[in-house]
Every structure is written in C-alpha cells, then in structure tokens.
Amino acid sequence: MTPDDVVARAAADGVRLVRFLYCDPSGVIRGKNVHVDRLRGKLTEGVGLTRAQNAVNMLERLVDIEGMAPVGEVRVVPDLNTYSRLPWVPRTASVICDQLDHDGLDWGCCPRSFLKRVLAQAEARGIRVMASFENEFYLAQEIDGRVVPYGNGPVYSSAGMDRAAIVMDDIVDALEAQGIEVEQAINEYGPGQQEIAVRYQDALGAADTQLKFRDTVRGVAEVGHNLIASFAAKPYANGIGSGAHIHFSLWSPDGKVNLLHDADAGPERLLSTMGRAFVAGLMDHLPALVALTCPSYNSYERLAPDAWAGSTVSWGLDNRECTVRVASSFWGREAESTNVELKACDPSCNPYLALGGLILAGLDGIERGLEPPELSRSNPARMSPDEQARCGIRPLPSTLREALANLQADPVLFGGLGDLLGRAIVAVRTDEANVFDAMTPDDARAAHLRVF
C-alpha cells in the first residue's frame, strides 16, 4: 500500500484517529493516536517518541539505562500494509510501526527491526520462516472488587463453549474483520480459559498479527462486554497457565518447499537434516531463549512439570510435556503441515523478540551442523537419570533472574539483539523482578493479570 492508499482506506472507513502501535521490550503494546487530517504526512515522517520510552517497564517505572535518557527522539514509522480498522472502538484504525532514528534506520532498541535483521539472515541461507502464535487467555469479570473467571466449563466441552459463546463470537468477528484467519476457538483447561489458533504466515506478519490479536481480544472483551481478558502467563495460583505456543516451519524462498519435511527420512527421523539441526540449535539455546519467550516474572510459575508448558530442554513427537514438540502431519498434507511447536512461550512476550530469538537459535544449529539427542518418548520429568541423559534433558530456568543471566551469557542471542536492545531487556526485567520479589505471590499475579 502507498500513503495515498492508506489515507483513502481511512476515509472510506470513516476513521478519525489512527493508532501508531509498537511493542516495547517489556511486552506492553503502546502507541500514539494521529488525527486523520494529519495522517498523510505522519505515514512517511512518523511520530516522535522519546528515547526513554522503551526504558519504561510493565509497572510503568522508568529504568535508568545508558543511551535511553529522556533526551532526544526517535520516530515511530508505520508499515503501511498493517493498516486495520478496529471493530470494537468507533472511528479508529491502527498501523504497526518500526522505531527508527533520524536517518531512517533502527536506532538500536526496535524489536521489530531486530526480527527483520534475523529474517534477513535466514533469507541469506535460502530459508523463509513461517509461523503462528497459538494463544491461551483467561476471561474474567470484576464482582464486588474480586476478579473471578467468566464462562467456566469443562475443558473442550460444549457447555464450556456455550458459556463464552457470545463474547468469543464477537472476538472472532473482530479478528476476521482485520483479515486474521481463525482456525480454532475453544475453551481450555483453566476456569474461564480460552484458546484461539490462527493461520500461519510469514514470521514478520505472524508477529504483527500477535499484536493485533492481543489488542482485539482485550478490546472486544473490555469495551464490548465489560470483561477482563488476561494474557498473563499464570494469573491464578490454582489455574493452569496460558501459553502462546509458537508453531514454525522453514520454507524455500518461493514458499513452495517445506524444508522441515523429508519424505525419505522415515518415522524415527521425523524431520529433514536441516530441520533436525534447527531443532538442535533451538534446544542448545533454550535456557537463554526463555528470557525472550517467557519474559515476565509470572512466566516462571507456568513452567512446571505436568502443566503441558515445557519445563525442560527436551523434544518429542506429539509429546506435550516436551518444550519442543514435533507436530504430527495431516493425511494428504504431510509436506505442508510438517511443523515444530515451541511450548515454552507465553503471551506476555514481545513477539518480535520471541520469534527473532527462536530463529537465531535455530540458525546457529544449522551453521554448526548440530544433531539433536534422542527423542523423549514419555514425560521428561519422570524419566530415569539414564534416560534423561540420553535425551539431553536438563531443567529450564526456574526464575526470571536465572533466565536473564543465561541470556547475557549467550553470545548468539545477546549479541544478536545488539547492545542497546539487549541492555534494555535486562534492565527493565531486572527492575520488575526487584519489585515483584517484595510482593506477595497473589499481588504479583494480580499485577500481571491487569497489565497483560
């Protein structure tokens, strides 16, 4: 689309305000509104943003980070192809943006630009990455000052689907109105917990869609139904956690050949040589990667055995206790449907950081010609020590601080982020950990429930 195309779309949609949105290092979706009368110029010149804004964490605390003082500005510049009219609010649209310096280049702390750099590395190796986020979230309502689940019912039950049917139908309507293709919408295990899976697409589009998805679910629930939609990883102590499982596949540049699939590999090899090396790299970097895919203090309450979330470095075929799951393909669509799922990811993540880190880890596996260990054929946490050793099983970090330390010690991931973005992630998350350490667990969960 051209700027004139966007202006024409906004006029046809009756739009007054356009949100210039981005996702900051703390995973919060932020932005600024532009009046339609000023839209044409702002589509090319962007909107001013203080350099300090990305030093604000999920608790709205400004963290002291060298190079991110409230002096100087960057520009929030939209990708014109991400224009969407927002169905749940009147006369409003949005565009997803990069954060650029005055020279039009990444200023060093733009997560979307980081993902673009990583995708360029993949493309240089003849790899086109496709992905989707499979989101779980809770619906809740506030009654007499208490936040209680909404629409609870037995998992995957018609009763559970009925009790949330009206709000879920409105959410699906709003997603489809923005061109987001919904594949499944079901009720999940937790009280009031729902899941929506959307169609895979190119990795940058998948990350952009994740921002639109979170905003849409939250907005429809809140504005249309006076409900809370929470994407926190573990909003209730006794409720199962919510994931944003990343499904990904590797394709030829023309999008015609799934590079993960090998028709001659046999059932035990599961994936092509490239696919196995990518998985091996992913597993090698997992202890650091979770700092990007499970990045909130609350995330580490979810990563527990028997929670189908992945709490170990492990992989398996349709093994939902493994962190890396090779999904079984569908009859007649074996090549197309071969994909891998990362379960240790939750919707509090910045999707650009999560996907970018995942791809960097996998590319490193390809570069080094790594081979994954034996498949885990049962629950990794319940295997014997000998079985765990053969399958390369080791625990994932149990705290945010441990994950951040691993990230800083990982030259591939931390180096790939770049100096400013890497330091910003560590600083804002460490400050959050300091605050949450002083809270009761219930208060920490409540804070995450409201923000995400």
Both 85 and 138 in a single domain? no
Centroid of chain to Cα 275: 21
Higher-confidence residue of 339 and 265: namely: 339
**What residue ranges in 209-304 does DSSP mark as E strands?**
228-230, 244-251
- 44: burial class by Cβ within 10 Å (0-12, 13-18, 19+)? exposed
CATH code for the domain of 85: 3.10.20.70
- Tell me: do 241 and 133 sit in the same domain: yes
Cα separation, 274 vs 123, in Å, equals 14
* Dist. CA 111–CA 29, nearest whole Å: 12
Residue 267 has pLDDT above 70, yes or no: no
Tens digit of pLDDT for each residue in 57-76? 999 999 999 999 888 899 99
Phi, psi of 353 (to 5 degrees): -70, -40
How many angstroms separate the CA atoms of 230 and 161, rounded? 18
| pLDDT value, residue 155 | 87
Q: How confident is the model at residue 268 (pLDDT cuts 50, 70, 90)?
A: low
Domain total for the chain? Answer: 2
* Residue whose entry in the numeric block shows the structure tokens 């050793």: 389
CATH of the domain at 250: 3.30.590.10
In this prediction, residues 218-242 reach a mean pLDDT of 95
Q: Which long-range contacts (CB under 8 A, 24 or more apart) does 389-392 make?
A: 391/314, 392/283, 392/313, 392/314
- Per the structure, the complete domain to which residue 89 belongs is given by 3-55+74-107
Which residues, at least 6 apart from 81, have a Cβ–Cβ distance to it below 8 Å? 1
Query: Tell me, what's the pLDDT at 266?
Result: 65
- 5: tokens are 């195309």
Can you give the pLDDT at residue 269? 66
Are 440 and 357 within one domain?
Answer: yes
Say if 129 falls within a structural domain: yes
Q: With 90 as the cut, is the pLDDT of residue 305 above it? A: no
Same domain, 311 and 208: yes
One domain for residues 95 and 122 = no
Q: Tell me if 431 sits within 8 A of 63, measured CB to CB.
A: yes
248 and 282 part of one domain: yes
Q: Is the pLDDT of residue 238 over 70?
A: yes
Which pLDDT band, with edges at 50, 70 and 90, does 14 fall under? very high
Mean pLDDT of the chain: 94
With respect to residue 43, please indicate whether it lies within any of the assigned structural domains: yes
pLDDT one-digit tens code per residue, 87-142:
999 999 999 999 999 999 999 999 999 999 999 999 999 999 999 999 999 999 99
- pLDDT bin (cut points 50, 70, 90) of residue 308 is confident
Give CA–CA dist 444/450, Å, rounded. 10
Q: What are the beta bridge partners of residue 201?
A: 131
What does the pLDDT look like over 325-364, one tens digit per residue? 988 777 778 777 889 999 999 999 999 999 999 999 999 9
The confidence score (pLDDT) of residue 318 equals: 85
Verify that 155 and 88 share a domain, yes or no. no
Same domain as 405, residue 349: yes
Residue-by-residue DSSP string for 47-110: EEEEGGGGGB-TTSPBP--TT-SSSSEEEEEE-GGG-EE-TTSTTEEEEEEEEE-TTSSB-S--
27-41, 80-94, 315-329: least confident range? 315-329
- Asked whether residue 228 falls in the same domain as residue 175, the answer is yes
Q: Tell me the average pLDDT across 370-383.
A: 89
The answer to whether residue 168 sits within a structural domain is yes
> Position 130: which residue type?
M
Same domain for 89 and 19? yes
User: Which residues 6+ apart lie within 8 Å of 106 measured at CB?
Assistant: 98, 99, 100, 113, 114, 117
Query: What pLDDT, on the 0 to 100 scale, is given for residue 329?
Result: 76
- Give me the amino acid identity at 337: S
**64 belongs to a structural domain:** no
Q: What is the pTM of this model?
A: 0.95
What percent of the chain is helix, strand and coil (3-state, nearest 5)? 40, 20, 35
Percent of the chain surpassing pLDDT 70? 99
